[in-house]
Amino acid sequence: MKKSYLLTLVRHGETLENRQGIIQGHMNVPLSPFGVEQARCLGKVLVKESQRYSHVFSSDLQRARQTAETVLNTTGGEELWAGLEIYNDLNLRERNYGTGEGKSRGELAREARSKGIRADVYLPPGAEEDEEMRLRASAFFSKLNTLLCDSLFKEGSAVAGDQGASGPAANTLHAIVFSHGGLICHLLHLLSCSTPFTNKAQHKGSLLRVPPNTARSTFVIEVRAGQSEPLRVTCVKAHDMSHLDDLTRP
């Protein structure tokens, strides 16, 4: 028997460090006032769309957790999201940038040049390697997929259909995940490597870029009982920023 669930990935709102081009990594910094407004705008649109979620996950770093809390505290979301808990997961953290944390991108570029390394591939001492990031993304998705599959296929559960993200039925399992640009890129790559991958939203290469702050991407994950890997992943919304159309930077 095949069933499906929805998965939405959201990058945290803007921080002052984002605005200043500072590498944050595991730095525990809050949203800027503008980042809070971005999260509020996202929450208002989700309420307007009557989006319902069965599970909420977040990086434990303040900027991601604050984004999740701001969204879920949106006026009008009480009935939609009543009783939802935010589950912190350390695997959703941004890359640990080692000695590069707190430095500007310009500083890191100069470090790279001094060592004869291209700036776009340079990792400062102590930084996580791509493989470590990939393993964290894979571990999180495996846990999430197992959790939702267990809920889908347990006796008496409601069947989740292949609805689009704009209007899932009330009984559709839908997990929303608040994380960071680097980790989301690895999750997107993981999802796009699922076989077969169907991207209805836009070109796959564009999907795999770092998402802007509070951008959301939504997928339909088709699964079968007893199988650990998805049967099909369909992207129905990629890096959507429409909630910010009326927001102007002060």
Active site residues: 12, 94
User: Which strands sit side by side in the sheet containing 174-179, from one edge to the other?
Assistant: 86-88, 55-58, 174-179, 2-11, 216-224, 232-240, 197-199
List CB contacts of 163: < 8 A, sequence separation 6 or more: 6, 169, 172, 220
Contact (CB, 8 A) for 91 and 136: yes
The rounded distance, in Å, linking the Cα atoms of 45 and 227 is: 35
Q: Comparing C-alpha atoms, which of 148, 219, 231, 237 is closest to residue 6?
A: 219
Beta bridge partners of 41: none
